[in-house]
Amino acid sequence: MFQNNPLLTLLKKNLHAKTPRIEGVVKSTERGFGFLETDAQKSYFIPPKHMKKVMHGDKIIALLKIEKDREIIEPEKLVAPFLNRFVGQIEKKENKLFIVPDYPFLKTLIICINYKNSSNVFHNGDWVVAKLTKHKLNGNHFFYAELIEKIIKNNDPFIPWRVTLARHNLPKQEPLSNINDFKLKDECDRKDLTNLDFVTIDNSNTKDIDDALFINQNITGDFVLTVAIADPTAYIKKDSQLDVIAYKRGFTNYLPGFNIPMLPRNLSEDICSLNPNERRPALACRINILKDGSISENIIFFLAWIKSKSKLSYDNVSDWIEQSGTWQPPTKSIKNQILCLHRLCLLRIKWRSKNSVLFKDNPEYRFNLSENGNILDIFIDKRRIAHKIVEECMIIANMSAAKFLSKHIGFGIYNVHTGFDLINAENVVSFLKDYNLNFTVEEITTLKGFCKLRRVLNILSNNYIDNRIRRFQSFGDFSIVPGPHFALGFSEYATWTSPIRKYSDMINHRLLKSIIRKETPIKPSEEIKLKISEQKRRNRTAERDVSDWLYAIFLQKEKNRNKKFNAEIIDISRSGMRARLIENGAYVFIPGVFLHKNKTELLFNQEMGKVFINGILIYKVSDVISVILSDIRLETRSIIAKPEN
């Protein structure tokens, strides 16, 4: 009698309309159920039957219901799918193709809808790019995806690189080029400096050499440093096809084992590269550094021809300065150049230790790979004295460029860092008081006060305090107008020393040239600045993703099982600790279950960076502990470790 009853239908409609709705993001678990996390930092339970309608990461609107005295979520409407364009692996079942997305917590088999003409091309385990076309919450019975391209076949040793580049939609190879296009288009006058003994100092295998140095010291003790930088803008016209390609790429993408250049290799590694005994066009800067270490206001930029007299390596120069090894400078003149550069380096380090900020020498790690992509070993690359010589010269050059741009036109591509915002500054001051370090908010939000704080922390040399303070700092960014760089300790900073590798440096080259030629400069747009920032972020993410993959592969080897590693705790989360293996740089996660069996007695304080058991401090960020690898999950590139004892 109730069938087709309009009153009952209206009642159901009214009840449905009154049911509360929640918007949030789906978080799945390995046990089938999930949670809807809202902006209010609250989670709602999603039963397994409803999780089948959604994917981890989907943004949805859901009905909030009560079942058995418990709040549950029933997905109603899709706001934004987590998957759009994505990478995954092919899985064949009963002559049908499915794709499994390559994301943690996403193991859903998605039906491929355009494989009929390519069933012989795609094989089980192949890596592909796909696009989600149908979602269950949009009224479909299944998830569907369209295959866009095949990335690489299964078991290929280059999977980590190819898949990562495809995931982030980054170029896989150098730009296509026609060598006949690389003719000198910059017909302006250049000073002939080919008789000067310029030298380059790089890694022994560096091919894209973009900086050369020449120095002398006068009788008053002042230094005169000439920095010559490779000049790709002499060959690449603004808005040309190659210029647009460089703009889109933004940077040379340095990945473990190899790089994908911003410019064609025959330009970056040959025609523009400051190779020894080759006449090359350059943008040069002559800077006077006074005997107290400060930089004179007398800064001159000009166009030049140079000829590097020797390609030196970091290791050889460092060995010679440190009086180890057998290498000797090839000529007396080059020997004098090295000695003079070394004196300048020590002077500038001393000056910066008193007037700005000195960098902490964190270890860098390098993968040793075979030609076919197999990992042979991982080495620690220590920053030696020759690295510091080049670093100090580049800092001088970039500070000088910033001053020159600001003085003459008032814009460019500047590297900026704002230190602490007001709220974080208050947190820093409060934190430091616990260690009898008295600063004020007003003080540390100025460049001078920030530098003073960093110098105090360097002297204190407390890794825990240093880690906590860095968590409050802002991130570096780009700006088209002058601004301070607190982390470096400079009132302004603009890089121009790597135009072969950075499009932002190419922009600054063109601006510097416009000043030299007395032409009207074109101010960079906010859009260009944002594009460069985004591309830098994508490249860094890709580098991290490839490294994580290679670490997982490397540490799976038999020799690493049951091996003890020293690891520095770098972060505390709600469920465990992140640490970095000191021997090779791999990041590992230590779950709470490995720290204490009774989780009710275990407290992870993220704000303090400390772990307590029954109120007693057990671990803190910066502690070095001994760990053993427990599990390596290649599918998620995650490494699980546990304390040795």
* Strand intervals (E) in 142-222: 144-152, 191-192, 199-202, 211-217
> How many whole angstroms separate alpha carbon 427 and alpha carbon 434?
11
Neighbours of 275 (CB within 10 A): 17
The active-site residue, picked from 102, 126, 211, 243, is 211
Residue 89 contacts residue 126 (beta carbons within 8 Å):
yes
The active-site residue, picked from 190, 348, 454, 501, is 501
Half-sphere exposure of 135 (CA within 13 A, CB side): 21
Active site residue 314: yes
Question: What is the per-residue DSSP string for 353-370?
Answer: HHHS-PPP---EEEEEE-
Question: What is the per-residue DSSP string for 251-277?
Answer: B-EEETTEEE-SS-HHIIIIISS--TT
The active-site residue, picked from 202, 231, 243, 548, is 202
Active site residue 197: no
**Which of 584, 589, 583 is CA-nearest to residue 571?**
589
Neighbours of 471 (CB within 10 A): 15
**Which of 641, 634, 631, 622 is CA-nearest to residue 548?**
634
> How many whole angstroms separate alpha carbon 643 and alpha carbon 626?
6
3-class secondary-structure state, position 420: coil
The active-site residue, picked from 103, 144, 314, 414, is 314
> How many whole angstroms separate alpha carbon 344 and alpha carbon 223?
7
Active site residue 211: yes
**Which of 269, 273, 387, 253 is CA-nearest to residue 319?**
387
**Which of 351, 348, 162, 355 is CA-nearest to residue 260?**
162
Helices 526-555 and 241-249: angle between axes, nearest 10 degrees: 60
Task: Give bridge partners of residue 65 from the DSSP assignment.
Answer: 72
The active-site residue, picked from 210, 243, 319, 505, is 210
- Where does 326-415 have alpha helices with state H? 332-355, 385-408
Could you tell me how far CA 389 lies from the centroid of its own chain?
24
The active-site residue, picked from 58, 102, 208, 505, is 208
Torsion sign across C-alpha atoms 76, 82, 86, 92: negative
Active site residue 434: no
Question: Could you give the residue numbers annotated as active site?
Answer: 202, 208, 210-211, 314, 501
